[in-house]
Amino acid sequence: MNLHDRATVVDGLQISNWSRPVLEELRAGGVSAVNATCAVWENAADTLRSIGQWLELANRNPDLVFLAKTGDDIDLAKQQNKVAVFLGFQNASPFEDDYRYVEAFHRLGVRIGQLTYNNQNLLGSGCFEAQDAGLTRYGRVIVTEMNRVGMLIDLSHVGHRTSREAIEESADPVAITHSNPLWFFDSPRNKPDEVIRALVDRGGVIGCCLYPTVSGGEHVTLRSFCEMVRRMAEQYGAAHIGIGSDCTRGWNQEFVGWLRNGRWKPTDPQHAPSWPQWPAWFKGPSDFPQLTEGLSAAGLDDQTITAILGGNWSRLFSEVMDVVKEPANV
Amino acid sequence: MNLHDRATVVDGLQISNWSRPVLEELRAGGVSAVNATCAVWENAADTLRSIGQWLELANRNPDLVFLAKTGDDIDLAKQQNKVAVFLGFQNASPFEDDYRYVEAFHRLGVRIGQLTYNNQNLLGSGCFEAQDAGLTRYGRVIVTEMNRVGMLIDLSHVGHRTSREAIEESADPVAITHSNPLWFFDSPRNKPDEVIRALVDRGGVIGCCLYPTVSGGEHVTLRSFCEMVRRMAEQYGAAHIGIGSDCTRGWNQEFVGWLRNGRWKPTDPQHAPSWPQWPAWFKGPSDFPQLTEGLSAAGLDDQTITAILGGNWSRLFSEVMDVVKEPANV
């Protein structure tokens, strides 16, 4: 059995249009677990609908997928040749203005929550705002509540100051599920050393991201991407590096307009956003084996590669999620 | 220890305005478990808010209350001197037109659902409609889905024909959590023999109800109420009889208008509904011990009384709720 098949692979984020064929792409790529986005701009009611769709998809494909509750479910999925889906939010919009929704959505299966998505919201600033005033009063309450119930905090699309303050506020280690260092590619979505360093110092994990607009577009090479991973492992410690592909399988062109503009801004039909081109060596989750080969070619040893492909996410997910969250009898 | 203290008491339904003092009334009355209404006319989003309030109340009072998941939680509550709360709907309004919300709300803790509340809805007819055309196409889907996830079906405010068809459609035994036989008191909320008989034949339980408008008002005596219980035990078998007080503690006068009219009808201020007067021997859940004494005085033996006070609900709740509801790994 080759290294990729032996490894337990976890993808730090995908925002695909989920269906059996898309899930089969993950299995074909040897991916045992994924943080699957189920809300970006949706409010609580919209998100309930979205989770209902996930329940149905999981119920219809029990041979292929299940909704994960704990970090231990990753190993279970690997053993059973299934995909453990960790439902995740890319925005705090489903929490609206009610901190009690954190526990409610946790009960519904949500295990990962990004604090902001590009824009300022009730919790803090997104990474595309010109000014970042940091974590808000409500943002601090939500961080504490996410810690309590065992929901992993994600800072990928969060502003730098809000990110630093959330790392400091959180009792648990946090994640950047899908971003790269600024030195690799200059984008507001990527992170300065001070943010990554603070996250690593508190035990967090950053997922190196293949999405073209944060990795360098269709011309980024497997070699340069894997060199980045190797250098990050040296700089921050291999225990703090993961992969977050940010795959967007199965969507039409309209969806990228929804991601960028939601309902907060009209999309100009003359300049409607379109999906970026992915590099030839990574078109989707079925290409994960190539990434493993690239990491080997970059000189990383098997143990380090196994940790980066999934071991580090497993450790972090278990540390945050496998907690007793309810009082009384549970 | 007297009979009441030895018994595990389960209240088939309360729609109180929940707070620590109201929960303490239950404990004072020796009530170990209750079906607590968290939606009557609310849609999905409103109900999410309502469940959020319950999560907070439970988290703040872990010495007194917990949200139950299975029938076994009733015995646990008795052992711990706590109240096990089974969240319940008195209407299918939270399911809106999406059958997937059944599993979603089950994940949120909802364990009992009444199919209709007084009026026609998407599932069938309520008990105050002039015509009852029976269980609808969507109603049959919801019954099947409630069976699948382990949510107990309640027919208390459901029309007679819809009730009979739901009993027939359901693979699991069902409940009438809070109604009396028509022969005891003539009200559309009470049940003809044919409905109770069909429910009993399939293993269901009917909760004798103390709410004044279905039990005979403030002048109903403990003796006549307990005579009714005794006669029902003889007629239908003691294993199929329970208690559902329908207590409404802690509400203001406006709330009874909400129960009757919701948002579907304006309330005439000149003829606004008001709460009925309860009999002196049962003003609230702390009066449960008197009921036990009355059942003894009516000539029922201790074993029968214990079954009626809670043993029958425990058996039914376990039979319906303690099922493996999710595929895959749960």
| Buried-state track A21-41, b at ≥16 Cβ within 10 A, e below 16 | ebbbbbbebbbbbbbbbbbbb
CA B230 to chain centre: 20
Select the residue from B107, B111, B148 to test the A interface by mutation, using most A Cβ atoms within 10 A. Answer: B107
Mean pLDDT of B251-267: 92
Q: Which residue of B has its CA nearest to A96?
A: B49
Mean pLDDT of B241-247: 98
Phi-psi map region of B150: left, alpha, beta (phi>0 left; psi -120 to 50 alpha): left
* DSSP annotation of B62: T
Question: pLDDT at position A330, please?
Answer: 39
Mean pLDDT of B93-98: 96
Q: Max CA-CA distance within chain B?
A: 57
A201's tokens: 């110092």
Nearest-CA distance A212 → chain B (Å): 34
Tell me whether residues B52 and A104 touch, CB distance under 8 A: yes
User: Residue B55: how many CA atoms within 13 Å on its side-chain side?
Assistant: 24
Q: Which residue has the tokens 């943080």?
A: A35
Tell me whether residues B103 and A65 touch, CB distance under 8 A: no
The rounded distance, in Å, linking the Cα atoms of A21 and A4 is 21
Mean pLDDT of B140-168: 98
Q: Which residue of B has its CA nearest to A106?
A: B108
Question: pLDDT at position A14, please?
Answer: 98
Chain A contact set for B62 (CB, 8 A): 327-328
Mean pLDDT of B65-83: 98
In chain A, alpha helices (H) = 3-6, 20-28, 44-60, 72-80, 100-107, 137-149, 160-169, 193-201, 212-215, 222-236, 253-261, 288-297, 302-306, 312-321
The rounded distance, in Å, linking the Cα atoms of B259 and B276 is 13
Nearest-CA distance B72 → chain A (Å): 11
In A126-202, alpha helices (H) = 137-149, 160-169, 193-201
Taking only residues 85 to 104 of chain A, the set having a beta carbon closer than 8 angstroms to any beta carbon of chain B reads 98, 100-101, 103-104
Question: pLDDT at position A3, please?
Answer: 97
Question: pLDDT at position A266, please?
Answer: 87
The rounded distance, in Å, linking the Cα atoms of A74 and A257 is 33
Question: pLDDT at position A326, please?
Answer: 53
Residue among A52, A100, A107 whose CB faces B100 most closely: A52
Q: Which residue of B has its CA nearest to A110?
A: B107
CA A205 to chain centre: 11
Q: Which residue of A has its CA nearest to B148?
A: A59
Q: How far is CA B119 from CA B41, B95, B110, B262, B299, in A?
A: 11, 16, 22, 11, 39
pLDDT-derived band at B326, boundaries 50, 70, 90:
low
Q: How far is CA B79 from CA B6, B7, B76, B82, in A?
A: 11, 11, 5, 8
Contact of B274 with B260, CB cutoff 8 Å: no
Question: pLDDT at position B323, please?
Answer: 77
Question: pLDDT at position B329, please?
Answer: 43
B217 touches chain A (CB under 8 A): no
String of DSSP letters for B72-118: HHHHHHHHHT-EEEEEEESSSGGGTT-THHHHHHHHTTEEEEES--S
pLDDT-derived band at B328, boundaries 50, 70, 90:
very low
Question: Taking the CB of residue B308, how many other CB atoms lie within 10 A of it?
Answer: 30
Q: Which domains does chain B have, with CATH numbers?
A: 3-321 (3.20.20.140)
Contact of B279 with B219, CB cutoff 8 Å: yes
The rounded distance, in Å, linking the Cα atoms of B115 and B122 is 9
The rounded distance, in Å, linking the Cα atoms of A12 and B279 is 61
B44 touches chain A (CB under 8 A): yes
Query: Letter for the amino acid at A22?
Result: V
B41 touches chain A (CB under 8 A): no
Helices (H) and strands (E) in chain B, counts: 14, 9
Q: Max CA-CA distance within chain A?
A: 58
Tell me whether residues B328 and A53 touch, CB distance under 8 A: no
Nearest-CA distance A237 → chain B (Å): 34
Q: Mean pLDDT in chain B?
A: 96
Q: Which residue of A has its CA nearest to B62?
A: A328
Residue B275 has pLDDT above 70, yes or no: yes
The rounded distance, in Å, linking the Cα atoms of B33 and B197 is 26
Instruction: List chain A residues with pLDDT less than 50.
Output: 327-330
B324 touches chain A (CB under 8 A): no
Chain B contact set for A107 (CB, 8 A): 107-109
Question: pLDDT at position B199, please?
Answer: 98
Question: Taking the CB of residue A201, how many other CB atoms lie within 10 A of it?
Answer: 12
Tell me whether residues B98 and A52 touch, CB distance under 8 A: yes
Question: pLDDT at position B324, please?
Answer: 64
Residue among A48, A82, A100 whose CB faces B104 most closely: A48
